[in-house]
Amino acid sequence: MNEKIGIMVLGHGSKLPYNKEVITAVANQIAEKHPDTIVRTGFMNMNNPTMDEGLQSFENADISNIIAVPIFLAHGVHTTEDIPQILGISREDRSTTIRLNGKDVNLIYAEPLGADPVIAELAYKRAIDAIE
């Protein structure tokens, strides 16, 4: 058995289409760059799949770990309270076990994107793009 890792890319959701488009594009880019990873999406509200539906979409995947990655820049009430509550994850442990395919699967909650050199470089690129 060659188990793969699962990543669920989490978005806030919006009535406007852009949020879902960006989250889906990020998920697709991760999947393209890392073909041994099973990537799904889940939204906190207003879009589908919901986070619960996103988790269920791993049902037939041969995985033992799902990492939920919030595509949020910084911690806030959604990343520290709402999302952990939706996922059934304690704020302290940042992980839990869920049942998929008749077996236990670890659900691990990653940190938001945060202050990272990649984010800083992207911000610089956006600034240069704005003046060109």
CA distance 78 to 121: 26
Burial call 1-10: b when 16+ CB within 10 Å, e when fewer = eeeebbbbbb
Count of structural domains, the chain = 1
pLDDT tens digits, one per residue of 60-112: 999 999 999 999 999 999 999 999 999 999 878 899 999 998 999 999 999 99
pLDDT tens digits, one per residue of 31-70: 999 999 999 999 999 999 999 999 999 999 999 999 999 9
In terms of residue numbers, what domain contains 53?
Answer: 4-131
What CATH number does residue 13 fall under? 3.40.50.1400
CA distance 113 to 29: 16
Residues annotated as part of the active site: 12
Confidence of residue 25 (pLDDT cuts 50, 70, 90): very high
